[in-house]
Amino acid sequence: MTSDALVVPTGIKDETQARAQARARARAFGDFVRQVPFPAALLHRDLSLLAVSPAWTAQAIAPAVAVGGDAGGLVAPEDRVALLACVHEGADFSRFLPTLAQDGSQQFWRTEFNACKDPDGEVYAVMVSVRDVTGYAESVLRAERDEQRLRMALELDDLLVREYDLRTGEMYFSDTAPELRKWCAFKDDPLEIVHPDDRQRCADVMATRKIGEARVFEFRLKRDDGIETWIRAVGKVFVDQDGQPEKLVNLFKDITDRRRQTEAIETLAFRDPLTGLPNRALFQHRFHEAAAASETLGEKFGLIMIDVDHFKDINDTLGHDAGDALLKRLAGMLQHAFRSGDTVARLGGDEFAVILRGLHSEADMMRPIQNLQGLLSRPIEHGGRSFTASASIGAVLHGDPDADPEHVIKNADIALYRAKEAGRNRSILFEPSMRSEVERRIELLRDIRAAVSANEFTLFYQPVIDIREHRVAGFEALMRWAHPEQGVLTPARFLVAFEDQELSLRLGDLALEQALRQMRAWLDQGVEFGRVAVNISAAQFRSGRLAEEIQERLARWNVPSQRLTIEVTENVYMGWGSELVSENVRKLHAAGVMIALDDFGTGYASLANLRQFPIDRLKIDKSFVQNAEDEAIVKAVITLGSSMGMKVVAEGVEDAEQLGALVRYGCDQIQGYHFGKPMPADEVAGFLAGFDG
């Protein structure tokens, strides 16, 4: 998506094909995994279980998971970030996996997670291999085993052992990891050493622990010096000969560095650095989770796509620091408007998306959107300046478990495009009828791009007649599409191109270049054509140096600036970036280029604006000229132009009656079918020779 035109995610088809190829590659690798003589498993990118080896199944290493089911349980919840990093970034890691053997005893496995990558470096699966380390783990927990082996194990892993006698209250520590000892001692309650924010979570773990069962959990220490220290703890209650609790043995390891690395990986892999919001990778993962819940549980979820209106203009006119400030402000607004459990993501540039789970109706989705629009209306202060911004919003509710969830993103984009097409600064809820319209538009844009490359666009010229002096004052250059099958097409057939910033810029540049080349040819041939007017779009002003570009082209074609008129519509003149437009127009006017305000009366120019900008011609839109009920408006515009020293040009004059009325009103110039239709360049000389006024 861009800020001005819909780009329906063209990568969806490619992405789907890539996923199919990745799944096929993983399935083929799964055949190998099923034959290896050691415990191994293969996970797909979406964390579903693809294959396990016979040894894995025989030893019941993990909780029973059917092939195709979610195998995310192979790691503890706190290690899920590391698993996602392995899937999306290829970051290998290893963890301990405690399980219960068939006889009820505790077993420990060392699990190694390794990313499987295709030749392009893309991760398509995760290989999991395990080895039994129960003996090592028991050697750490059971003090009665070989003391030297225990000490070596403790020192090797920098572990601290704490033994608490449940009968006497006496506490013993190993002489390893001395920096942890002072913070791991307690008076009455083992939870005293836990940071208050983590205490309830640890209490829940301890409450579910059975006598003789080892449990693993992580928490922050409560330290008086305020230094954040994360601990990974293993705890087990030992019993006496009568089966009564005798002592609590804990192993503690400082994992602060590992936690920080994990958080850094998560931030780098799944967070947008500017706003701190989830990035596209995490958005995709959350979207697939929502889609899976919809398919399996029938849960409704909503997707909202958001684009900042005219964001490029904000960057161009106020600077990128203002653009960054706006994006951060919008991120805060989004988090405030939506629920804490909703996924608010920045997809890139000025694109944001929100996933809302557990919805009941469209109203559940539209309420926070209304809140967001209210927040957007507030001015933003930056660098001593105040400015406002708006956003276009497309929304879709997905509640059909049989529908393809991949279409949800496309449908939200379609609704977003409709919001832009309707004038921006609004939200549109997707309706199925919108899809066919957008598909036709996309196909037409594709044809237009091909036509531009094939040089099928050309200029026709319509005469502008000075009715007071009875002469041809000049011509307006009008774009035509010389379609190889449908013939010459008017702009009404390719208007969509001017709504696309890239195509609008290409066609504008093409028109200006063709017009100057033709003017040079007429000058060389001695054809007195007067002036040629060329329409300038908003996209052409966005470079910031349109005035310089036009003057450079005039010099290159050796065409006097007095031969050129540029026509600018009211909406371009008065819209976003009007200061930039005004600056360039003033430079061109000073260089001798005539300035015409096109389609006057159809936009929102005020009388004050007419005095601020250098305007030589007012062009009355044909909708007023051809409607007898608008006689008063036509008169008023002619009077206004005359009083301000501007000449007035009436468009769309088709018969003698309209011409007579305009003569009586004091109009200066006209153009329309009454005197001449737009014609190819090679007919202009003959028209001039035969014109009798």
Closest by Cα among 208, 29, 60 to 124: 29
Same domain, 106 and 226: no
Domain-located, residue 168:
yes
- Identify the top-confidence range among 10-14, 29-33, 297-301, 554-558: 554-558
What's the one-letter identity of residue 542?
R
Q: Residue 443 falls within a domain, yes or no?
A: no
pLDDT over threshold 70, residue 14: no
Alpha carbon distance 66, 52 (integer Å): 10
Higher pLDDT, 491 or 10: 491
What total of structural domains would you count in the chain?
4
Cα(447)–Cα(453) distance, rounded to whole angstroms? 10
Do 109 and 161 lie in one domain? The reply is no
Question: Domain limits at 418?
Answer: 273-431
Domain annotation covers residue 448: no
For residue 433, pLDDT over 80 is answered with yes
Give the chain's mean pLDDT: 83
CA distance 319 to 338: 29
Residues 116 and 143 occupy one common structural domain: no
> By mean pLDDT, which of 73-82, 219-228, 342-351, 517-526 is the weakest?
73-82
CATH number for the domain that contains residue 380: 3.30.70.270
Q: When comparing pLDDT for 230 and 579, which is higher?
A: 230
What confidence tier does 61 reach under pLDDT thresholds 50, 70, 90? low
Q: Would you place residue 581 in the very low, low, confident or very high pLDDT band (cuts 50, 70, 90)?
A: confident
| pLDDT tens digits along 27-57 | 777 777 787 777 888 888 888 888 888 887 7
Last residue of a domain, one of 81, 112, 132: 132
Within this chain, do residues 480 and 563 fall inside the same structural domain, yes or no? yes
Domain-embedded: residue 329: yes
Residue at which a domain ends, from 414, 431, 448: 431
pLDDT for 15: 57
Q: What is the pLDDT of residues 147-187, one digit of tens each?
A: 545 555 554 457 788 889 988 889 988 888 888 888 999 98
CATH of the domain at 211: 3.30.450.20
Instruction: Report how many helices (DSSP H) and strands (DSSP E) the chain contains, helices first.
Output: 24, 27
User: Does residue 440 lie in a domain region?
Assistant: no
Whether the pLDDT of residue 628 is over 80: the answer is yes
pLDDT at 656 over 80: yes
Strands (E), 21-82: 40-44, 49-52
Q: Is the pLDDT of residue 567 over 70?
A: yes
Q: Kind of pairing, strands 647-651 and 669-671?
A: parallel
Q: Do the beta carbons of residue 186 and residue 193 sit within 8 Å?
A: yes
Q: What is the pLDDT of residue 351?
A: 92
Report how far apart, in Å, the C-alpha atoms of 500 and of each of 7, 70, 437, 568, 594 are: 10, 43, 16, 18, 27
The vertex-372 CA angle with 368 and 373, nearest 5°, equals 120
- For residues 125 and 26, the answer to whether their CB atoms sit within 8 Å is yes
Residue 643 sits in a domain whose CATH number is: 3.20.20.450
Rounded average pLDDT over 301-316: 86
6 lies in some domain: no
d(Cα 576, Cα 541) in Å, to the nearest integer?
11
> Are 324 and 222 within one domain?
no
Domain assignment present for residue 354? The answer is yes
* pLDDT given at position 193: 92
Q: Could you tell me the pLDDT band of residue 266, with boundaries at 50, 70 and 90?
A: low
The reported pLDDT for the residue numbered 123 is 83
319 and 195 inside one domain: no
| pLDDT at residue 684, rounded to an integer | 97
Looking at mean pLDDT, say which of 120-129, 227-236, 483-492 comes out highest. 483-492
- For residues 282 and 230, membership in a common domain is answered with no
Which of 233-242, 660-669, 673-682 comes out lowest in average pLDDT? 233-242
* pLDDT (tens digit per residue) in 318-327: 778 888 888 9
Query: How confident is the model over 10-37, as a mean pLDDT?
Result: 67
336 and 374 part of one domain: yes
What mean pLDDT comes out for the span 633-653?
A: 91
- pLDDT tens for 74-107 read 677 767 788 888 888 888 888 777 777 667 677 7
pLDDT at 67: 60
Residue 208: inside a domain: yes
Q: Same domain, yes or no, for 113 and 187?
A: no
Cα(325)–Cα(346) distance, integer angstroms: 14
From residue 658, alpha-carbon distances to 166, 597, 617, 622, 665 in Å are: 106, 21, 20, 11, 11
Choose one of 260, 281, 313: the last residue of a domain: 260
Q: pLDDT class for 144, splitting at 50, 70, 90?
A: very low
Amino acid at 378: R
| Confidence (pLDDT) at 2 | 38
DSSP codes joined into one string, 385-434: EEE---EEEEEEEE--TTS-THHHHHHHHHHHHHHHHTTSSSEEE--THH
CB atoms closer than 10 angstroms to residue 576:
20
Task: Please tell me the least confidently modeled range out of 126-135, 376-385, 487-496, 600-609.
Answer: 600-609
How many percent of the chain have pLDDT more than 70?
Answer: 86
Confidence grade of residue 12 (pLDDT, cut at 50, 70, 90): very low
Lowest mean pLDDT: which of 28-37, 238-247, 413-422, 456-465? 28-37
Based on the fold, state whether residues 304 and 425 are members of the same structural domain.
yes
Mean local confidence (pLDDT), 114-136:
79
User: Residues 444-453: what's their mean pLDDT?
Assistant: 93
Give residue 106's pLDDT.
Answer: 72
Write the pLDDT tens digit of every residue in 181-226: 889 999 888 999 999 988 888 887 777 767 777 777 889 999 988 8
Judged against a pLDDT cut of 70, whether residue 70 lies above it is answered with: no
* Structure confidence at residue 143 (pLDDT): 46
Of residues 290 and 74, more confidently modeled:
290
Instruction: Specify the pLDDT at position 119.
Output: 73
* Per-residue confidence (pLDDT) for residue 51, from 0 to 100: 85
Asked if 595 contacts 616 with a C-beta cutoff of 8 angstroms, the reply is yes
Do 115 and 242 fall within a single domain?
A: no
Q: Is the pLDDT of residue 4 over 50?
A: no
Q: Provide the pLDDT for residue 663.
A: 93
| pLDDT value at residue 601 | 65
* 548 in the same domain as 416: no
With 70 as the cut, is the pLDDT of residue 60 above it? Answer: no
